[in-house]
Structure 1
Amino acid sequence: MKITIAKTAGFCMGVRRAVDMVLDAANSTNDPICTYGPLIHNPQVLKMLEDKGIPAISRIPETAKGTVLIRAHGVPPESQHELEQAGFKVINATCPRVIRVQTIIRKHAEKGYATIIIGDRDHPEVKGLMGYSAGKGHTVCSMEELADLPCFEKAVIVAQTTQDTSLYDDVKKWATINHPHYKLFDTICDSTEKRQAEVRQIARTHDAVVVVGGKESGNTKRLAQIASETGKFYVHIEDISELEKSHLQQLGSAESIAITAGASTPNWIINKTFRSLETELDKKDRAISSSLIVMSRQIRNFLLRTNLLLAAGAGSMTYACSKLQNMEHILIHSFIAMLYVLSMQIMNNLFSISSDRYNNPERADFYERHKKSLSATAFLAGATGIYLSFSTAMLPFIILSVMSMLGLLYNQKLFSASFRGRKISRIKDIPGSKTFLIAVAWGSVTSLLPALSRPDPDVVSFAFVVPFVFTTALLFARTAFFALLEIQGDRITGKETLPIILGEKRTKKLIHNSLYIAALIIFISTLTGIIPKTGLLTALIPLSMIYLVKLHEKGALYPGMHLEFIMESHFLLSGFLVLFT
């Protein structure tokens, strides 16, 4: 069974911008916030906003206070004026593509042009566009309605930004032949064109299509319409819970399934659909799959959810660092690293249940159901690790105790400060702190603490600095990569992660650069004799991680257990690369 997610699935630029604007506004002020009309056409996003205390108002009050955001579809200019007159601070979250169409209509209306809008007259975007036509606007949704319009002395033709491209192509041909003096503007968003073209293409190469998105979303309904026209089995759902038994039977008989989504469908809904389909169809496959395959998947999922795989990776990384430092490896150091990472990672996941409800619902459910046992495991692992460190040397014991204490206090209110208008009272509130602290903690526990336990530690020498920088760079890239995958859920819950602060493009550059630095430092250190030549193979770790990240960026690997397992396995591999050299 092959499941493919369309590359164009999910938030378009305009919707992403609108959602980011309302969440940033909510996370930076305590004043009342609302949206004028539904911000976008997606029930899950609207429910999320309501849960955060951001309602959608349908009428403009006489007097008001606080902030109101104009929906991504835009509103008539008189509505924006009325909102300002009521006392609102108005933030215009209208999609820039829609603003362009508004500008075209307004400028030509001022010159006496009639406006012909190809679109759904009941759609909020079209209603907003009509407000810029100075009473000379006409909305049509078919070629018949277009032909029935009178001939205008001068007119402009524009399209709703999410209109069907094939219909608008027919409109342009008709206008060129019958009214060559009309001005034609290509106003369908390129994102819409790409989505519609891709759904036609993937429907040809797959047996079934699942369209995910709001039932009121015009662009999502058009994707479903296009999928139906291909003759392949398709289903349009807002949430995976809407899939009926008959749907699953049809999908279960397909060799390949494509998932596409409208411009207002968030990533967490798409990923949830992908994971749930994978799980549901996997149940059907068990009858024909070998028990070994089924068992291997169950073991994989258990190792990931309990963080045992990552903890084992820390132990393996400690062994690799000792080889790079040309230092005799003592097994207790690997156990200390394993126990510390296991403890901290479990606590981190316990603290992240709220954002995981969006980013990783299965993990959130697992930690919710096993909260007590996992909390006890985290405490016992942390305490055991500290006890073992005491048996090595006093300085490693003190450092690990401080690191563990900081981990326990990460979510506790400790001080009062502010950043960009946002209150900071906990370590977790410090922007980007999670990525940096995890990276430094791994570098310390895998390379620094073992070195400090020696009778004559020389931690300032390059031989000891190189493994620390190498491990820190790898973990920085790994943590930033997962933060990128979880950006929407983190923004919803108000987290200031690195991708939210720097943006996705800058974060991607940082990830690539960190991995290149990790590989380069191994090459240079090996050539100059700082570390043994046997350590050269460890450069394969960052190079492999770069390849994995690029595969994901190209859409070849989707967020889920498989991607997570491959990423986390790199650290386990590090020890094996130096084991037989």
Structure 2
Amino acid sequence: MKVSIAKTSGFCMGVRRAVDMVLDASNRYTEPIYTFGPLIHNPQVLRLLAEKKISVMETIPEQGNGIVLIRAHGVPPRTREKLEAAGFTVIDATCPRVVKVQTIISRNAAEGCAVIIIGDKDHPEVVGLLGYAGDRGVVADSLEALKALPAFEKAIIVAQTTQSTRLFDEVGAWAAAHHPHYQVFNTICPSTKNRQAETEALARQTDAMVVVGGYNSGNTQRLAQVSKKSGHPVFHVETSEELDTNALAKSDHIGITAGASTPNWIIKKIYRELEAARFRSKGPLARTLFSAQRLLLLTNIYLAIGAGLLCYSASLLRQGEHFAPHILIAMLYIFSMHTLNRLTGIAEDHYNDPYRAAFYDKNMTVLALLAVGAGGLGLAVAFSLGVFPFLMLLVMSGLGLSYNLYLVPKGVTAIPFRRIKDIPGSKTLLISAAWGVAVCAFPAAATDSLNFSSMFTALWLAGIVFVRSAFFDLIDMQGDRIAGKETLPVLMGADRALRFLKQMLAGLFLFLLAATLLGVVSSLGYLLLVLPVTGYMLLALYQRDTLQSGLVLEFLVESQFVLAGLLALTWTMMTAL
């Protein structure tokens, strides 16, 4: 079974902008926050906003206070005036594409033109557009309704931005044939056009389609209609719990598309459910391998193995000695810190990785005991090496644990951040620094071999880990924003962050090449040049949607560290000949 996701799936630009604006407002203001009408047509997102104390305002009171966000659909001009007159601070999150239609309508209505809107008369966007047309606006939801309208001396035709492209093509052809003096403005959003075109193409290539989105979402309903034209089975679902995996298991190729108001974490959960179903359908061996692979990733055991192998390769790269206790300490430290921070940061995982969140919720006590036990065992091993290694690891562990702790009392307002976690962009920097110390600087310091070579190696490996962590942050942007985490991609934006990571990998390649040529590090550096190359390839494949956010992608990214160890073993055997 192959699973493909349409490139234009999930939040469109206007919805993403509106959601970002309301989340930013909830983090910035202490006043009550409202959206005028439901922000988007997705019940899961609306429940999420309700949990964050963001209320829905349906009618405007005579007096009020707080922040009111105008959703992406827009509102009639009179509505905004009434909100401001009632005493509310208005934040306008109207989609720029909708603003463009409002401007066209306002200008032409002022010149005496009738305004024909092709759309659903009860849709909030159409209600808002009618407000800009005044008494000159009419709505037609079909070609038949358009034909039934009286002929106008002067008229324009515009479309609801999420309207069917096929319907509007028919409207344009009819107007050209019967009322050539009508001005036709194709105001369907490019995202809507692309989404429908991609869905139609994907539906033809697949055996079944899964359409994800709210049942009352007009653009999602249209995606389901477009998909059904292929003649293949179509399953419209809001959540993964509604998937009929038994029926879908009969398909060799399944396509996934999603409405403009569907959040990424729901699409991701659908994909992961189908990914699991694909392996379950392959037989006992495939099911066992899949379950083992997922368990290794969920428990951070695979990550700990990668840390140990990275520690081994670091010792060879910096031309130092390697000891089994140092490798064991690196594995135990990374396992302990990552597991404990997952346990304390489970809120964002409910959106970024629902399977991981469910796993941690179910096994919280066992995982906490394992993490604490691993940390304690690491300290015991360090103590067996001497007081200095023990104290150094104790400080490292304390710093790792302090990430989620409130270090500044609640009453102290002079310091804006109460936790290290609250500092924008701190997560990726601190994770990469911790790895650089654990896999390289700590072993070097414990053996009195902390020199320029070891410092370069620690910084270079920290750079590789930085890209890995920032890449996962990039995938998890939407959930991090919802949870109020300002990671690097959230601060920079997805496109800029992706370019930055590619540039960083290119820099890491050149720095290691130069250091190896100059003899700063061992000739293992030539083999380790593979890491930035494969990292760049993974970023490129993800950017082109060849690799989807799922178990396979996560396993490939984490395998970078295992690859480093395998390259080090290969180099050891080559140099021994």
* TM-score category of the 2 structures, normalised to the smaller one: over 0.9
Partner of 1:526: 516
Alignment correspondent of 2:2 = 2
Give, as a single letter, the amino acid of the residue that structure 1 aligns with 2:34.
Answer: C
3-state DSSP of counterpart to 1:23: helix
Q: Which moved more, 1:513-522 or 1:74-83?
A: 513-522
One-letter amino acid of the counterpart of residue 274, structure 2 = L
CA contact 2:158–2:187 (8 Å) conserved in 1 = yes
1:38 equivalent to 2:43? Answer: no
Aligned partner of 1:200 in structure 2 is 200
Deviations 1:513-548 (A, max 9, x none): 222222222211111121122331011012101101
User: What do the CA deviations read for 1:339-366 (whole angstroms, capped 9, x no partner)?
Assistant: 1000000011101211111111111111
- TM-fit CA distance, 1:207: 0.2
Q: Deviations over 1:374-409 (max 9, x none)?
A: 111111111221222233354443332112112222
The 8 Å contact of residues 279 and 286 in structure 2, kept in 1 or not, is answered as: no
TM superposition shift of 1:422: 10
Q: Contact conserved, 2:524 with 2:568, CA < 8 A, in 1?
A: yes
Q: 1:536 maps to what in 2?
A: 526
Give the secondary structure class of the aligned counterpart of 1:578. Answer: helix
Q: Decide which of 238, 262, 267 is 2:264's aligned counterpart.
A: 267
Shift of 1:423: 4.6
Taking the aligned partners of 2:78 and 2:330, their CA distance within structure 1 comes to 63
Q: Greater shift after overlay, 104-113 or 503-512? A: 503-512
1:405 aligns with 2:398: yes
- 2:465 paired residue number: 475
Give the SS at the match of 2:552: helix
Q: By how many angstroms is 1:59 displaced?
A: 0.6
Note the C-alpha offset of 1:16.
0.3
- State the alpha-carbon separation in 1 of the partners of residues 276 and 5 from structure 2: 16
Query: Which residue does the alignment assign to 2:498?
Result: 508
Alignment pair present for 1:252 and 2:249:
yes
Aligned counterpart, 2:507: 517
Q: How far is 1:279 from its partner?
A: 2.5
1:417 Cα deviation after fit = 9.6
1:18 is matched with which residue? 18
Q: Which amino acid aligns with 1:381?
A: A
SS at structure 2 position matched to 1:201 = helix
2:416 is aligned with 1:426? no
Q: Which residue of 1 aligns with 2:354?
A: 361
Q: TM-score, normalised by structure 2?
A: 0.96
Q: Read off the aligned partner of 1:303 and give its amino acid letter.
A: L
Aligned length: 571
Equivalent position to 2:553, from 540, 563, 578: 563
Corresponding letter in the other structure for 2:159: A
SS at match of 1:55: strand
| Distance in 1 of aligned mates of 2:547 and 2:30 | 40
1:348 equivalent in structure 2? 341
Instruction: Give the distance between the partners of 1:231 and 1:525, measured in 2 at CA.
Output: 60
Q: SS of 1:115's equivalent?
A: strand
Q: Distance in 2 between matches of 1:248 and 1:446?
A: 43
For residues 368-447 of structure 1, what are the structure 2 equivalents within 5 Å? Answer: 368-415=361-408, 423-447=416-440
**Over aligned residue pairs, what C-alpha RMSD do you find?**
1.8
Partner of 1:160: 160
Aligned counterpart, 1:113: 113
Unpaired segments of 5 or more residues in structure 1?
Answer: none
Do the aligned residues in 2 keep the contact of 1:417 with 1:423 (CA within 8 Å)? no
Q: Find the residue that maps to 2:254 and give its secondary structure.
A: strand
Aligned mates of 2:543, 2:131 — CA distance in 1: 40
CA displacement, residues 420-448 of structure 1 (integer Å, 9 cap, x when unaligned)? 99952111111111100000010111111
Q: What is the one-letter code of the residue matched to 1:46?
A: L
Structure 2 runs not aligned, ≥5 long: 572-577
Alpha carbons 1:416, 1:423 under 8 Å: kept: no
Structure 1 CA distance for aligned equivalents of residues 17 and 388 of structure 2: 49
SS of the residue corresponding to residue 214 of structure 2 reads: coil
Q: Matches of 1:324 and 1:155 in 2, distance apart?
A: 74
Letter in 1 for 2:296: L
Q: Which residue of 1 aligns with 2:331?
A: 338
